């Protein structure tokens, strides 16, 4: 055993290290690099996806991720540099096409490369804070192509040039444009904005600045607006065709600023074609365009509104203050209505019924309609005219429309109580003379007034209608109880409630004996049925139908006023009567008498009397005869009284005074109402509260309010505070 050789077992080091072939990484990378080349050279069909994927996987697994990644970067970069050269070499038009083609190639290649290197993308990249393959490909494209010195500015200029050509009417390849813009957006919104949008907006601003200057020198306002609208629509269309949707608001605001905002005053005030001319000529289309364009810029609509308002106020002021126009109240109101119609349809058709414009219209009307103190009277006269004759043959609906329009004007009035006064007078006249054409129309208007101003406002007007109806019944009863009155003159009496009707100083006259006897009979009949009432005759408001036979036997029926009837009856017993004799016999007040004589002796065609001397005016010494030569082709002759339809100056003063009188209790009532709830209030606040409460009906005069306060203090409704004299206290 001893000579047995000791065997030395030596364990040799394992020669094949577990780590794979040192050249493994280089070899594998070569395969992958080759594949990337092939992909870029459109030879991918010969490649095995499984093999390449496995190779990339193995490289990462064996910790060669870094080598793989940096290899990818440098390989892709070198390809992109080649691509960059070929794009640079493209001449003229083909530049964008080449860029687009290469971009598509790169995207396809990138997708394939990413698929092969998916394992690296999933494991190596997140844990080593590297850029993922797809993003890397885009970044490299951006840095090597888009930001290469020879491409960057050329690309920008080409794009801007194409936009410019399209703006000047040329047709460009929008599809190509869209692809290139899409590429910039894919590279990140910062690239799109910095490398295109920013410059695009600048160039556009410059373009439109120049163009708008050119347009404004040679176009009228309407034409200019048409062009601006067209440009705006073109830009919006451009965005939808090939720009980022987010650019729309930016480019439109550039166009709006350059083409509209910068030229607003000039456009609006453009001579012969500006806003005022459009309004005058009812250019709905142009106005609508202006509205839609100006709406887009700050203060645009305000500008239109201000110009419209000042124009409206100016024309309205002329309308209501022109002395020529004041001659005919109906015409005056009709013009106001026409003006309102005109602007209503402008606002409706061109300004899309914009509330702010409607308010401006209302304010303007309120402003100028109240410039003329006679507006309430005229409006009432207009209604009077319409209800007397104007509504004949007009359909019910049209009546309503006219009345609604009148109500609208009524709404603009500050002194609604003045209107009420006149309306009452005019209604009284219509009712008493039986001139009203349509009872329905009358009532409809009263309902409208009622809804507008409340029950109080119309209760007296409604009372007048009731009186008319009752009187009809009374007369029937009267004649039924006096059957013997069938022969001889007929008396028709309207019993009017005091207070409901416009009171006039009762100026009686001596009625002819036949009539006064009849009147007495009626009086006793009426008082017999209604005890405790008092009747007084309003002879100034009556009228009469008389049969007359003149010198040559011509017979006529004369329609005259009560006064005129009294005068004519005198001539049954006399050939000649002097003014003094007539005055004595009838006791008609002098001004009335003069007017009624004037209408019978001085009006051609109605001159049933002859006057000596023949002059227009009635003198104290004049003498009157029956005009035997009177002739008329009508059997019935209506002899009007010479009355100005409009009020005469003294009458106006009187009405005014009565209105002022009526306002006093209303102001006082408002003062007491307010003070009762507030107990203590200072002067200024009280004035403003009262004004607020009353402005539904009229605009109270502060001096008048002050007077009313003084009066209430005197009557111990209120007292001044001892310390602060501006403070009022309510005394319960």
Partner 1 sequence: MIVAAPAAKDRVKFNVGGRIFETTSTTLANAGRDSFFGPLFDENQSAGGGEFFIDRNPDCFAVVLDLLRTGDLNIPPNIPERLLYREASFYGVLDHVRSAKWGPFDGNRLRYSKSISGTAPGDGTAIRAAPDGGCAVAHGSIVHVYDWMLSEEHPPLTLDHQRVNDVIWVDPENLAVSACERLGRGDGGLGLFNKTSGRLRFKFQVTHDNQVKSFTAGALATAQNPNHRIFSSCKGRSNEYGIGVWDQFTGKQVDFFYESPGWSLGDADRLQWLEERNCLLVATLFPRKDNCYISLLDFRTKDMVWSWSDVGAPMTVDERRVRDGIAMEGNNAICVVNEYEDLGFMDLRMNGGAIRWSSRSRLIMKGRMPDDEPCYPKLALHDGGQLFSSMNDCISVFCGPDMVMTSRLRRGYGGSICDFSIGGDRLFALHSEENVFDVWECPPPPVI
Task: List, in sequence order, every residue forming a beta bridge with 547; answer none if it has no partner.
Answer: 557
> 336 Cβ partners below 8 Å, 6+ apart?
316, 319, 320, 365, 369, 409
Indicate the residue among 120 and 600 with the shorter CB distance to partner 1. Answer: 120
Instruction: Give the closest residue to 381 by CA, choosing from 338, 426, 415.
Output: 426
Ramachandran class of 501: left when φ > 0, alpha when ψ lies in -120 to 50, beta otherwise: beta
Half-sphere exposure in the Cβ direction for 652 (13 Å, CA): 12
Asked whether the beta carbons of 452 and 489 are under 8 A apart, the reply is no
Asked whether the beta carbons of 437 and 386 are under 8 A apart, the reply is no
Ramachandran class of 163: left when φ > 0, alpha when ψ lies in -120 to 50, beta otherwise: alpha
CA 582 to CA 587: how far, in whole Å?
Answer: 8
Structure tokens at 501: 């009707």
Kindly state the helix (H) or strand (E) to which residue 729 belongs, with its residue range. Answer: strand 727-730
Burial class (CB in 10 A: 0-12, 13-18, 19+), 475: middle
Q: Which residue has the tokens 């009372």?
A: 463
Structure tokens at 512: 């002819």
CA 286 to CA 275: how far, in whole Å?
Answer: 9
CA 445 to CA 663: how far, in whole Å?
Answer: 24
Asked whether the beta carbons of 329 and 383 are under 8 A apart, the reply is no
Task: List, in sequence order, every residue forming a beta bridge with 623; answer none if it has no partner.
Answer: 578, 612
Asked whether the beta carbons of 587 and 509 are under 8 A apart, the reply is yes
Asked whether the beta carbons of 332 and 326 are under 8 A apart, the reply is yes
- Backbone φ and ψ for 173, nearest 5 degrees, come out as -80, 95
- 149 alpha carbon, distance to own chain's centre: 58
Instruction: Give the closest residue to 560 by CA, choosing from 600, 508, 595, 588.
Output: 600
CA 166 to CA 176: how far, in whole Å?
Answer: 14
3-state secondary structure of 470: helix
Q: Contact residues for partner 1 (CB under 8 A)? A: 44, 49-51, 53-54, 57, 108, 111-112, 115, 118-119, 122-123, 126-129
- Backbone φ and ψ for 187, nearest 5 degrees, come out as -75, 0
Task: List, in sequence order, every residue forming a beta bridge with 624; answer none if it has no partner.
Answer: 577, 611
Angle between helix axes 65-89 and 149-167 (nearest 10 degrees) is 50
- Backbone φ and ψ for 10, nearest 5 degrees, come out as -115, 125
Structure tokens at 302: 């305000």
**Angstrom distances, CA of residue 443 to CA of 409, 438, 466, 532, 551:** 19, 9, 12, 31, 47
Sheet arrangement for strand 623-626: 576-578, 623-626, 609-612
First to last CA, the chain: 147
CA 169 to CA 166: how far, in whole Å?
Answer: 5
CA 211 to CA 580: how far, in whole Å?
Answer: 88
CA 117 to CA 25: how far, in whole Å?
Answer: 15
Half-sphere exposure in the Cβ direction for 352 (13 Å, CA): 8
Torsion, Cα of 446, 447, 449, 451 (10° steps): 160
């Amino acid at each position: 055993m001893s000579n047995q050789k000791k065997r030395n077992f030596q364990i040799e080091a394992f020669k094949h290290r577990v780590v794979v072939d040192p050249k493994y990484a280089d070899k594998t990378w070569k395969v992958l690099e080759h594949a990337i080349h092939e992909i870029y050279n459109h030879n991918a069909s010969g490649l095995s996806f499984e093999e390449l994927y496995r190779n990339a996987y193995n490289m990462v697994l064996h910790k060669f991720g870094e080598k793989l990644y940096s290899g990818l970067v440098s390989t892709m970069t070198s390809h992109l540099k080649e691509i960059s050269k070929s794009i640079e070499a493209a001449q003229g038009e083909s530049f964008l096409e080449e860029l687009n083609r290469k971009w598509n190639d790169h995207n396809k290649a990138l997708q394939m490369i990413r698929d092969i290197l998916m394992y690296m993308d999933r494991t190596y990249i997140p844990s080593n804070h590297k850029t993922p393959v797809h993003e890397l490909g885009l970044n490299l494209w951006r840095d090597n192509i888009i930001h290469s010195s020879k491409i960057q500015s050329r690309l920008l200029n080409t794009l801007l040039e194409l936009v410019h050509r399209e703006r000047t009417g040329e047709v460009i390849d929008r599809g190509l444009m869209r692809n290139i813009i899409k590429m910039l957006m894919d590279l990140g919104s910062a690239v799109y904005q910095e490398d295109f949008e920013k410059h695009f907006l600048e160039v556009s601003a410059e373009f439109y600045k120049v163009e708008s200057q050119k347009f404004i020198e040679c176009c009228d306002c309407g034409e200019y607006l048409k062009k601006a609208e067209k440009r705006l629509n073109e830009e919006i269309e451009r965005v939808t065709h090939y720009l980022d949707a987010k650019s729309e608001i930016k480019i439109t605001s550039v166009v709006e600023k350059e083409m509209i905002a910068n030229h607003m005053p000039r456009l609006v005030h453009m001579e012969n074609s500006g806003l005022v001319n459009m309004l005058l000529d009812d250019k709905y289309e142009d106005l609508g365009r202006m509205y839609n364009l100006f709406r887009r810029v700050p203060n645009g609509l305000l500008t239109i509104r201000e110009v419209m308002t000042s124009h409206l106020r100016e024309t309205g002021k002329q309308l209501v203050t022109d002395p020529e126009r004041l001659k005919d109240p109906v015409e005056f109101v009709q013009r106001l209505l026409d003006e309102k119609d005109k602007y209503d349809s402008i606002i409706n058709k061109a300004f899309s019924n914009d509330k702010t414009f409607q308010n401006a219209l209302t304010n303007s009307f309120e402003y100028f309609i109240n410039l003329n103190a006679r507006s309430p009277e005229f409006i009432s006269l207009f209604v009077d005219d319409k209800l007397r004759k104007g509504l004949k043959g007009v359909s019910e609906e049209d009546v309503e429309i006219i009345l609604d329009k009148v109500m609208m004007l009524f709404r603009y009035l500050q002194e609604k109580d003045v209107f009420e006064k006149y309306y009452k007078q005019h209604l009284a006249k219509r009712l008493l003379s039986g001139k009203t054409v349509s009872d329905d129309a009358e009532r409809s208007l009263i309902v409208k007034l009622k809804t507008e101003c409340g029950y109080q406002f119309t209760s007296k007007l409604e009372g007048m209608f009731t009186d008319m109806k009752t009187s009809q019944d009374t007369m029937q009863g009267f004649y039924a109880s006096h059957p013997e009155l069938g022969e001889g003159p007929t008396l028709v009496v309207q019993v009017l409630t005091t207070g409901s009707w416009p009171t006039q100083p009762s100026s009686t006259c001596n009625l002819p004996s036949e009539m006064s006897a009849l009147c007495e009979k009626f009086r006793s009949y009426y008082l017999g049925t209604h005890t405790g009432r008092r009747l007084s005759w309003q002879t100034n408001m009556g009228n009469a139908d008389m049969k007359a036979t003149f010198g040559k036997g011509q017979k006529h029926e004369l329609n005259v006023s009560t006064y005129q009837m009294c005068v004519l009856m005198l001539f049954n017993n006399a050939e000649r009567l002097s003014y003094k004799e007539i005055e004595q016999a009838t006791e008609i007040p002098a001004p009335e008498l003069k007017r009624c004589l004037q209408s019978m002796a001085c009006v051609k065609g109605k001159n049933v009397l002859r006057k000596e001397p023949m002059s227009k005016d009635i003198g104290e010494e004049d003498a009157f005869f029956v005009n035997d030569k009177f002739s008329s082709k009508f059997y019935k002759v209506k002899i009007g009284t010479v009355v100005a339809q409009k009020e005469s100056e003294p009458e106006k003063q009187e009405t005014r005074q009565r209105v002022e009188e009526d306002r006093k209790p209303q102001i006082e009532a408002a003062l007491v109402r307010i003070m009762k709830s507030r107990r203590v209030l200072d002067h200024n606040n009280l004035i403003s509260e009262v004004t607020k409460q009353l402005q539904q009906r009229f605009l109270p005069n502060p001096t008048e309010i002050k007077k009313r306060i003084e009066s209430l203090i005197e009557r111990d409704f209120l007292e001044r505070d001892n310390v602060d004299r501006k403070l009022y206290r309510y005394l319960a």
